[in-house]
Amino acid sequence: MDVKDIIKEENLVYGKTKLLTDNIMHYCPGCTHGVVHKVLAEVIDEMGIQEKTIGVAPVGCSVLAYNYIDIDWHEAAHGRAPALATAINRLYPDKYVFTYQGDGDLASIGTAEIIHACNRGENIVVIFINNGIYGMTGGQMAPTSILDMPTSTTPYGRKVELNGYPLKITDLIAQLPGTCYVTRQSGHTPAAVRKLKKAITKAFENVGKKKGTSFIEVVSTCNSGWKLSPVKANEWMVEHMFPFYPIGDFKDE
């Protein structure tokens, strides 16, 4: 059996979804963005909704998300993705519109936009990457940085008296009647990735059923920003992030 036999179609056990482009990702090795991008692309592909899906990318590490998934995209201003998605969803009610936002984008500068889009029950999917740090700008404190977490703007760790409390924005979002599905997932193990894919699939199905806003938080790592190896970053996340940001559904109506 030579190489040509091995790569025959019937011998394939795994393939990259064709919706992921061949562009080399700029994400750091070990970053959760790559996992979430792949799962997202697979869901869109498997649901057969490429022609009907419009993504809105944020400002942050995933600002270039449009380079990696082969659908139509908008690149929003920092924090404003839900406002763009609102308009696109209202103007094309039969499309599948989603935002892809980090913690600085969604939970800091864009707090007003995300709260109001969810409160209006915009028929969209929100994918919220929470790694507790600003990755792109070089590891500064995020609204979701946990207490005592060192960042470049909290070099001695986040302190309540100086920086206030980490914001559990997903807990807030779950209170809003416009949301139909609010969940917190991760992507650090094969099992977690499978659950994440189920969650993203459900969220897109909710759009098809016009149920309102589906919101998926993905507790993520930023090994560069955290200054840890990818493996250590996963361990740190499990040990320190999960107790504060427990995995599970908030709401599934």
Partner 1 sequence: MADYKLMKGNEAIAEAAIRCGCDAYFGYPITPQSEVLETLMARKPWDETGMIVLQAESEVAAINMVYGGAGCGKKVMTSSSSPGISLKQEGISYIAGAELPCLIVNVVRGGPGLGTIQPAQSDYFQSVKGGGHGDYRLIVLAPASVQEMYDFVNLGFELAFKYRNPALILSDGVIGQMMEKVQLGSYKPRLTNEEIVARYGSWATTGKTHDRPRNIITSLDLDPYRQEQFNLKLQKKYREIEEKEVRFEKIACDDAEYLLVAYGSASRICQKAVDLAREKGIKVGLLRPITLFPYPTKAIREMLGQVKGILAVEMSAGQMVEDVRLAVDGKVKVEHFGRMGGVIATPNEVVAALEEKIIKG
What does the CA dihedral 85, 21, 199, 99 come to, rounded to 10 degrees?
Answer: -20
Residue recorded with tokens 């969209």: 124
* Residue 69 near residue 41 (C-beta atoms within 8 A): yes
What does the CA dihedral 37, 38, 42, 44 come to, rounded to 10 degrees?
Answer: 10
Binding flag, residue 147, partner 1 (CB under 8 A): no
- CA 133 – CA 205 distance, rounded (Å): 31
Q: How far is the CB of 54 from partner 1 (least distance, A)?
A: 5
Helix, strand, coil percentages, rounded to 5, for the chain: 45, 20, 35
Per-residue x/- track, 18-57, partner 1 (CB under 8 A): --------------------------------xxxxx-xx
What does the CA dihedral 128, 133, 137, 140 come to, rounded to 10 degrees?
Answer: 150
Residues that bind partner 1 (rule: CB under 8 A) add up to a total of 33
Binding flag, residue 64, partner 1 (CB under 8 A): yes
Q: How far is the CB of 82 from partner 1 (least distance, A)?
A: 8
Nearer Cβ to partner 1 (43/84): 84
Nearer Cβ to partner 1 (52/232): 52
* Residue 143 near residue 131 (C-beta atoms within 8 A): no
Q: How far is the CB of 106 from partner 1 (least distance, A)?
A: 14
**Which listed residue (16, 29, 72, 175) binds partner 1 by CB under 8 A?**
72
* Residue 39 near residue 200 (C-beta atoms within 8 A): yes
Q: How far is the CB of 69 from partner 1 (least distance, A)?
A: 8
Binding flag, residue 173, partner 1 (CB under 8 A): no
- CA 24 – CA 211 distance, rounded (Å): 36
Short-list 192, 165, 166, 196, CA closest to 183: 196
Per-residue x/- track, 80-99, partner 1 (CB under 8 A): x--xxxxxx-xxx--x----
Rounded to whole angstroms, the maximal C-alpha distance in the chain is 66
**Which listed residue (113, 128, 130, 134) binds partner 1 by CB under 8 A?**
113
Q: How far is the CB of 74 from partner 1 (least distance, A)?
A: 4
Give the residues lining the site for partner 1 (CB under 8 A). Answer: 50-54, 56-57, 63-64, 66, 70-77, 80, 83-88, 90-92, 95, 112-113, 115-116
